[in-house]
Amino acid sequence: MGARLFRDGRWGRGGLIVAVALLGARPLLAVPIPYRVGPAESEDEPTKSHFQWEVKDQGAELALDFGADDPELPRQLGISRLVKLPARRQGDHFIVQGNELNALVREVFTPVAKDKQLVRRDTEVTQVDLQEVSIQVARDNFNLRLTLTLDVTVHTKDEDGNEDSTRINGSFPITAEPVPLKSEDASKAVLDRFGRYVDTARKRSIDPRNAARYVDEEAFRRALSRAGEDAASNADTHGFVDRRGTPVAYIRPGALPYTTVHEVTHVYMNPHFRDLGKYVNEGVTHFFAQLAVVDPDGNAAYDFSQRYQQPVRAAEGLLGWAGLDTVATAYFGSGTAEIEALRRRVDENKGPGWFDRFIRENR
């Protein structure tokens, strides 16, 4: 099964789609992916986003957060903070266009026009004519590229009754990068894909809202120390799971965006799977975390290639020899019996002793 999904030793987009299907999971993501326009102003708000993007059965949905930078702005504009707009698929991209977008533009254009000094402040906006309004949404590697196209004429009248008009016509490109999921959303993504494998008692013991904690540098170092980890040897660590009591992940300031879903996958892991060594542990975790955020087109929300490339290659070999179901059962199970079943499956397919040699060579 596994070898047919590989391309040059890696799982391609088609393979990731098939992998989700083999898990018996829905092809749709359980949560929308948040995106930010421009660099983060502060590491204090790692999950702050300007919009959310979600691919659906028939098209997609763009949810604009007008209060991300200024919570008062939606009230000033007279709109809801989160405005959801449907998008339709058009070739390799999506188009937002139609009544919902037109209504939004009409609602916001009067205060925006005055604020941006597109029209004089002592005039009244009497009418907004929309010749063309659309947003094209396309993937740019792991970023999203939004192109807002406007052909709008704003009609005004001053206090003396003199009428005028201003036309705004052009295309405005915006590039947005994905930001980390909130703890609850990362848990939801992992459980939606792998929930049927996760040990029931462990699942009940974990509060999804507290599965991952975003902390400052000082708090991260203190958490490392409490868990018996040395801060100096973990200088490049972006996140880790404290397994004293109920597992909880700590996320370091400036961590790569995929870190939260990676660490939350660890949170739901069978603790005995760690006995197979860090290489296999991290490789399988990274692969499963990627599957948790793959959309129906086979696109992962985050760039998982930035780390753990060699461990993932080892994990993909293991998945090819034993199958996704057997590996997932061992990874999310409750004890050693599931891992013994994994050993037997690998040895049946590759020969006696293969599993143990593989583990020794990949520690």
Q: What is the pLDDT along the chain (363 residues), one digit of tens a residue?
A: 333 333 333 456 666 667 777 777 667 788 999 999 987 777 778 999 999 999 987 899 999 999 999 898 888 778 899 999 999 999 989 999 999 999 898 887 766 544 544 445 566 777 889 999 999 999 998 999 999 999 999 888 877 888 888 888 999 999 999 999 999 999 999 999 999 999 999 999 999 999 999 999 999 999 999 999 888 888 899 999 999 999 999 999 999 999 999 999 999 999 999 999 988 999 999 999 999 999 888 888 999 887 888 888 888 889 889 999 999 999 999 999 999 999 999 999 999 999 999 999 887
Among 112, 146, 178, identify where a domain stops: 178
Indicate if 76 and 21 belong to the same structural domain.
no
Among 154, 178, 202, identify where a domain stops: 178
Give residue 121's pLDDT. 55
Q: Is 59 helix (H, G, I), strand (E, B) or coil?
A: strand
The answer to whether the CB of 119 falls within 8 A of the CB of 125 is yes
Give residue 14's pLDDT. 62
- Closest-CA residue to 51 (of 28, 68, 38): 68
Indicate if 222 and 101 belong to the same structural domain.
no
List, in sequence order, every residue forming a beta bridge with 96; answer none if it has no partner.
135
Eight-class DSSP state of 323: -
- 66/80 Cα distance (integer angstroms): 8
Indicate if 193 and 146 belong to the same structural domain.
no
pTM above 0.85, yes or no: yes
- 45/51 Cα distance (integer angstroms): 15
Per the structure, the count of domains in the chain is 2
Indicate if 9 and 59 belong to the same structural domain.
no
Indicate if 339 and 268 belong to the same structural domain.
yes
Token pair for 11: 């799982």
Indicate if 139 and 237 belong to the same structural domain.
no
- The C-alpha angle 13, 196, 317, rounded to 5 degrees, equals 45
- Closest-CA residue to 138 (of 189, 86, 176): 176
Structure-derived torsion over alpha carbons of residues 294, 300, 302, 306, reported in degrees to the nearest 10: 120
Please give the residue range of the domain that contains residue 158. 33-178
